[in-house]
Amino acid sequence: MGNYKTLQLCLHTRVSTVKEAEQEGRVDGPCFAVMELRDKLTSAMRGLHFVNRDKKSLWVCRADQPYCLGWIGYGDYRRGGDGTEMYVVHARTISNGKYGDHNEQHYMKMSTNIDMALRNCKKFLRVYSPSEIARSRLRDASNAVDTVVSKAKEELSRLHEKVIDAQSSYYRTNRNSALLNELKHLLTTGHEFVDPTFRENLSSFFTTMDEVASLSNRSVPMWFVRVYERMGQQMFDVTAIDKAESAWNATVSDEAERYTAETLPDEIMQKLSVLNILRADDFVDDVGFNAGEGMFYVVR
């Protein structure tokens, strides 16, 4: 799980983000050495395009991928280097044992030889699998599910203050107390309270308490759905996720089903229609989470 956290924090760079930086003029074009490696890579691997990263490096992208495959550069990227410049490829698939995984260099292969650099690029600049993409925003989707529980708990606390003496620390911290049991009995037996609003608050309190218990104990399976264009047709890659309410306990399938708009199951299509009109990072309970870039976590 530690590796998942590192990837989440460091290595998933959206193509749209780097394109925006380039279009806004916030990055410079690369040096000749990087362009030479770029040209060799373009000839060796089909479907790639490149986005300026800085004067010494380029992002490597594909039109059918939401994240950059990595980046290539030319310079001295070593920690404590002597100034010797080398060709470098940086990718999530690299594990350079000379550096710990908290260092950027852990994900780099370096060489003074351009042909060796090209071989490293071909080996390590790999497309994302459906399960990798599904894991990339899983923590955010899980957190969105958890906000529903948190809001219900906040409402329960608010109602608790209305129906229980706010000065009583015992009753604030012991919600299964004898007093609550007595109040619930009065409510269910039709007791006429002196203050009618107290009955309303009490009823809302017990309803919310049951809701919190239900939400806290529920399991939330999801489909991760990636929507993209391929050969002029809209495609849907669907990956199953169990226990999506917790990024730590979730199980992401290594298999993905591919559908077209005609073959996608109606249940998924209906929920996608709702999620598609939301802004990125918005969540609707029992529907799902819009992760942006054509990526959706759909509650199943």
**Structural contact between residues 166 and 275, judged by C-beta atoms closer than 8 angstroms:** no
- Cβ 221 vs Cβ 244: under 8 Å: yes
- Which range (55-64, 165-174, 247-256, 291-300) has the least confidence? 165-174
Q: What's the average model confidence in pLDDT over 163-187?
A: 54
Q: What is the DSSP pairing of strand 222-230 with strand 233-242? A: antiparallel
Q: Where are the domains of the chain?
A: 2-128, 129-300
Query: pLDDT for 93-142, tens place per residue?
Result: 999 999 988 889 999 999 999 999 999 999 999 999 999 999 999 999 99
Mean pLDDT value of segment 23-52: 91
Q: What is the pLDDT averaged over residues 86-99? A: 94
Q: Enter the pTM of the model.
A: 0.73
pLDDT band at 272 (very low <50, low <70, confident <90, very high): very high
Residue 26 confidence (pLDDT): 80
pLDDT at 173 over 50: no
Q: For 113, list phi and psi in degrees, rounded to 5.
A: -100, 125
| pLDDT for position 76 | 94
- Among the listed ranges 145-159, 161-175, 198-212, 232-246, which one has the minimum average pLDDT value? 161-175
pLDDT of 62 higher than 80? yes
